[in-house]
Amino acid sequence: MTIQKILVAAALSIILFLSFPFTGVGQDIPGAREKVEMADRFRQEGKIYVVVAIMGVTLVGLLIYTVGIDRRISRLEREVDQSRQYHNH
């Protein structure tokens, strides 16, 4: 168990280390702001938050549902173990 914990912790710290921006903020191709079309107006109008909210709610909803299934399986595991103990006596 401890070895597993160490491995997981090591993997996570490497990942976090990698995700840190060492060399400052990245650079765009020169002139990209004018040439490359991005959803700038969409963002300025705040409509992006609608998308964030909808995707966020969908994700959180699915996560909550997953937690519910996890709990049901835990309960089932306890019940099966209990009934097996009962039958063995």
Residue ranges binding other proteins (CB under 8 A): 1, 4, 8, 12, 15-16, 18-26, 28-29, 32-33, 35-39, 48, 51-52, 55-56, 59-60, 63, 66-67, 69-70, 73-74, 76-77, 80-81, 83-84, 87
CB of 89 to other proteins, least distance (A): 13
- Smallest separation, CB 52 to other proteins (Å): 5
- Measured from the CB of residue 48, what is the shortest distance to other proteins in angstroms? 6
Ramachandran assignment for 73, one of left (phi > 0), alpha (psi -120 to 50 degrees), beta (any other): alpha
**Residue 72 token pair:** 């049901």
**Comparison of 39 and 45: residue with beta carbon closer to other proteins:** 39
**Residue 21 near residue 15 (C-beta atoms within 8 A):** no
Q: What are the two backbone dihedrals, phi and then psi, of residue 29, each rounded to the nearest 5 degrees?
A: -60, 135
Distance in angstroms (rounded) separating the CA atoms of residues 70 and 81: 17
